[in-house]
Amino acid sequence: MMAKTQLTRDIEAALHAWHPSSYGGYRVDSFRQGFDALEVPVECGSVKSGLVDFVRVQECFTSETKYGTCKLASLIETDTGASLAAIQQKAKEATCVKDISSIDFCREHCSERWCYFHKTNHLYTLDAVITCVEIKISVSDFHSAHGHNFVGHCNYYAMPTELYKKVKGEIPEDIGVLLYYDGESTCGIRKAKECKSHILSEKTQKWLILSVAKRLPRFDKN
């Protein structure tokens, strides 16, 4: 295996520090940044099928349900001395349209979003999204027969801006592009082209995640 150039190492570090809000239409949980690995085998336990330069596994939201509740319900829970009359008075002041004769009115779902005491809640279904990135630093590197292993839900090339200008027309429609920039005071990753996501079987996901897990100790954040 050829020694990595400093540019390749810089792009690896920038990818590790890059945390977008979505990949290929998958909105991710920004509070749980997932885990990254370098040189991940496409086929778990073997390098015969090649290595992916950078792979990230992260939780994503596959569906979202919104529903409304009444904030007055929390007043009952936090203030044991709160009387029905006091809660009814607050509801009247907010011109609540519900039947407020029973305390149960504030425990029911509420669709009146204009109400001062309305609270919108979000219920999510979580899954894992696997993002694969192949790093290219030159035209010859890009044209190499190796290093085009796009096996994730979301797949990208990562490359310097100048290289992108030269090979832009050769990049497949479904593959995204991440540009590495190195300025005077900062460096990082910018998304130049979004990818089109792919559906993976549960078996494929399982083996890819296991491949990533086996590589975790090898990642050097420095």
**How far is Cα 178 from Cα 128, in angstroms, rounded to an integer?**
21
| Sequence spans of domains, the chain | 6-64+127-218, 72-116
Q: How far is CA 173 from CA 26, 93, 167, 176, in A?
A: 18, 57, 13, 8
Written as tens digits, the pLDDT of the chain (222 aa) is: 567 899 999 999 999 999 999 999 899 987 778 899 999 999 877 888 899 999 999 999 887 788 888 888 877 666 555 677 887 888 888 888 888 788 788 888 888 888 888 888 888 788 899 999 999 999 999 999 989 999 999 999 999 999 999 999 999 999 999 999 987 777 899 999 999 999 999 999 999 999 999 888 654 555
| Torsion sign (Cα): 121, 87, 90, 95 | positive
Looking at this protein, which amino acid is placed at residue 156? Y
Burial 117-151 (b: 16+ CB within 10 A, else e): bbeeeeeeeeebbbbbbbbbbbeebbeeeeeebbb
Q: pTM above the 0.85 mark? A: no
CA neighbor of 23 nearest in space, from 13, 34, 14: 34
Residue 169 backbone dihedrals phi, psi, to 5 degrees: -75, -10
